Amino acid sequence: MKKVAVLMGSANDQPKMAAAVETLQSFGVEATEHVMSAHRTPAKVGAFARRARDEGYGVIICGAGMAAHLAGAVSAQTTLPVVGVPLSGGAIGGLDALYATVQMPRGIPVATVAVDGSLNAALLAVEILAVTDEGLAKRLADYRAEWGQ
């Protein structure tokens, strides 16, 4: 099974991204956490994104606030699915991060969930991985059945 990278722009974002890691682990998906900034450590972001497929990742989740360029910077460097989580904070409570995450240029897609929606980002990552993993698809169906969906 492929693993999922959970990136965040700052260590301070970890509490908002914790639900992603916990949800992935509850499905038996290996999740790794990384702190890297599209603005402070762009070379690190690019290098990680370029080698992620070779390192066994199937999806990359990126959480960032304010300018929130992390998901777009990652997507520009990989063909893996990237899920952006705009994070609240700053003067307008995450609306800036939402716009920055969802407004990617043509050819650089980022799937975007709600502000602070790291749990849904993890579920989307599980859905993506479950396309080719029957066991994971079954666990996802069981999860949905528990929620009456």
CA–CA gap between residue 31 and residue 38 (Å, rounded) = 20
> What is the tens place of the pLDDT at every residue in 2-17?
999 999 999 999 999 9
83: enclosing H helix or E strand: strand 82-87
Range of the domain at 120: 3-146
Give mean pLDDT, residues 67-72. 96
The CATH code of the domain that includes 102 is 3.40.50.1970
The DSSP output letter for 8 is E
Is the model's pTM score more than 0.85? yes
> What is the tens place of the pLDDT at every residue in 118-143?
999 999 999 999 999 999 999 999 99
> Which range, of 44-48, 93-97, 105-109, 144-148, averages the lowest pLDDT?
144-148
Q: Give me the pLDDT at residue 149, please.
A: 61
CA–CA gap between residue 149 and residue 139 (Å, rounded) = 14
Q: Give me the pLDDT at residue 12, please.
A: 96
Please give the tally of structural domains in the chain.
Answer: 1
Closest CA to 38 of 77, 76, 74, 82: 74
